[in-house]
């Protein structure tokens, strides 16, 4: 991470822009209220905040319909040249849509139109195009996009705190149907609030970067507040592992050399202590209460079904649609949720080739960020890059196919910044 004098951020770019002659897109300026309004209204749906929040039916239903409702926005792209990443997104979406659909016709005897409905979960990949179109129509500056994300991240944190302070114990459900996830639940971790933390975690990464850039305690305190709200109220182990997996390497890279040695030496002991207390101690538990038996049985059934057929392993076997008259649990005569076995579940459904496309979807964002970062260094864009890394880390626990719109939105912002900031031209002028 560069020093503040060299770092071009969305909070203070005036002098740096004058030196590098960056377009007005990167300039610090007062936000436009109407642009902020539309960004704050649209971003929660593009970011899939309500996608699994079925306790709020209208917002949940609208979120499910959003990939289709936003499709007409794509026609706006007809007047533009092909954007970076576009070809990869088109190929990835087409393959992930059709390959498991065709496979399930052969292996599960599904009809084509029934089988294709099983892939509605990957429709948010198209947010790359629809959200990109939305940005091109709205024409926000980078600072306005950044501020919208931060406002939504802080709002998420505040709402969580309000729920924690006001919701009575009777609202927390101790017993619920297998496969469901109530918003307020109670289990061996205690009371939990299953809030989607997309914007909050990006805000956490942003504040942490700003804290190192400006050496101001307020940013570190803001990052710590979001982290501890996630740790103590949401209580999702994967989130804590993902945040730690991003923040710790960043810390080691950004601190002075002497401190770096100390941090690297202390970090393993701190991590052992952290994951040896409270509900985090059950992260790598193999007891029956952890659900490891169900996952092990599911994995064994999946591996047995794939067998020794290379074609199945390479291209996958698809899955049963929620609209089908049968279910995987009835088909395998056992609890069988592909999400429980994460990457094995992805290989089961999409094959090794499909899994590689999903990984490449994240990696392309990381590579494209490096290209952008060579021209303009911005802490908000860096926070988006951190989130892509976070998605890869937590994919051990949660498959990226559950919320592909999160990555699609980040990639569309990178593409928009490349276009609106004229970075393709700046890349030649700075060489």
Structure tokens at 297: 């049985």
All residues at 6 or more sequence positions from 366 whose CB lies less than 8 Å from its CB, including other chains? 385, 388, 389
Helix (H) / strand (E) element for 221: namely: helix 217-229
Q: Which of 213, 221, 247 is nearest to 11 (CA)?
A: 213
**Helix (H, G, I), strand (E, B), or coil: what is residue 13?**
coil
> Any residues with CB less than 8 A from the CB of 94 and at least 6 apart, and which?
none
Tens-binned pLDDT, residue by residue, of the chain (431 aa)? 444 333 444 334 434 444 456 777 888 778 899 999 999 999 999 999 998 888 888 999 999 999 999 999 999 999 888 899 999 999 999 999 999 999 999 988 888 888 898 899 999 999 999 999 999 999 999 999 999 999 999 999 999 999 999 998 888 888 766 556 788 888 878 888 888 999 999 999 999 999 999 989 999 999 999 999 999 999 888 999 999 999 999 999 888 888 888 888 888 877 777 777 777 776 666 555 556 777 888 888 889 889 889 999 999 999 988 878 777 877 776 777 788 889 999 999 999 999 999 999 999 999 999 999 988 889 999 999 999 999 999 999 899 999 999 999 999 999 999 998 888 776 544 33
Can you tell me the distance from the alpha carbon of 216 to that of 279, in angstroms, rounded to the nearest whole number?
A: 32
Name the residue with tokens 């007809």: 78
Q: Is 48 left (phi over 0), alpha (psi -120 to 50) or beta?
A: left
DSSP lists the bridge partners of residue 186 as 191
**Residue 191, H or E segment:** strand 190-193
- pLDDT the model gives residue 21: 67
**Pairing between β-strand 184-187 and β-strand 190-193 as defined by DSSP bridges:** antiparallel
Q: Is the dihedral of CA 103, 105, 108, 111 positive or negative?
A: positive
């Amino acid at each position: 991470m560069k020093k503040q004098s060299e770092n071009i951020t969305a909070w203070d770019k005036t002098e740096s822009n004058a030196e590098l002659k960056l377009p007005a897109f990167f300039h610090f300026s007062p936000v436009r209220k109407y642009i902020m309004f539309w960004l704050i209204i649209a971003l929660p749906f593009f970011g899939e905040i309500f996608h699994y929040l079925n306790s709020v039916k209208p917002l949940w239903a609208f979120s499910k319909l959003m990939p289709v409702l936003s499709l007409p926005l794509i026609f706006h792209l007809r007047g533009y040249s092909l954007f970076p990443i576009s070809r990869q997104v088109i190929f990835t979406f087409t393959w992930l849509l059709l390959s498991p659909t065709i496979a399930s016709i052969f292996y599960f005897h599904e009809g084509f139109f029934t089988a294709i409905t099983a892939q509605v979960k990957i429709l948010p990949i198209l947010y790359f195009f629809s959200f990109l179109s939305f940005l091109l129509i709205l024409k926000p500056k980078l600072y306005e996009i950044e501020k919208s994300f931060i406002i939504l991240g802080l709002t998420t944190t505040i709402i969580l705190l309000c729920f924690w302070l006001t919701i009575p114990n009777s609202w927390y459900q101790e017993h619920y149907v297998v496969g469901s996830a109530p918003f307020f639940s109670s289990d061996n971790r205690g009371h939990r609030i299953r809030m989607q933390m997309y914007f909050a975690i990006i805000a956490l990464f942003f504040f942490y970067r700003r804290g190192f850039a400006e050496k101001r305690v307020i940013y570190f305190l803001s990052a710590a507040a979001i982290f501890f709200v996630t740790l103590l109220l949401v209580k999702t182990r994967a989130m804590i592992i993902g945040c730690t997996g991003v923040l710790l390497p960043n810390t080691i890279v950004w601190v002075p050399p002497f401190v770096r040695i100390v941090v690297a030496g202390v970090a393993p002991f701190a991590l052992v202590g952290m994951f040896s207390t409270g509900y985090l101690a059950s992260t790598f538990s193999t007891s029956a209460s952890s659900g490891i038996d169900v996952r092990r049985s599911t994995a064994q059934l999946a591996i047995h079904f794939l067998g020794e057929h290379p074609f199945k392993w390479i291209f996958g076997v698809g899955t049963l649609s929620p609209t089908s008259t049968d279910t995987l649990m009835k088909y395998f005569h056992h609890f069988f949720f592909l999400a429980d076995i994460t990457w094995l579940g992805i290989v089961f459904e999409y094959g090794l080739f499909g899994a590689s496309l999903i990984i490449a979807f994240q990696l392309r964002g990381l590579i494209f960020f490096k290209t952008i970062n060579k021209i303009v260094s911005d802490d908000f864009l860096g926070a988006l890059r951190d989130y892509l890394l976070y998605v890869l880390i937590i994919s051990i626990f949660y498959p990226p196919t559950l919320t592909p719109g999160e990555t699609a939105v980040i990639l569309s912002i990178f593409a928009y910044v490349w276009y609106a900031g004229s970075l393709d031209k700046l890349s030649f002028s700075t060489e």
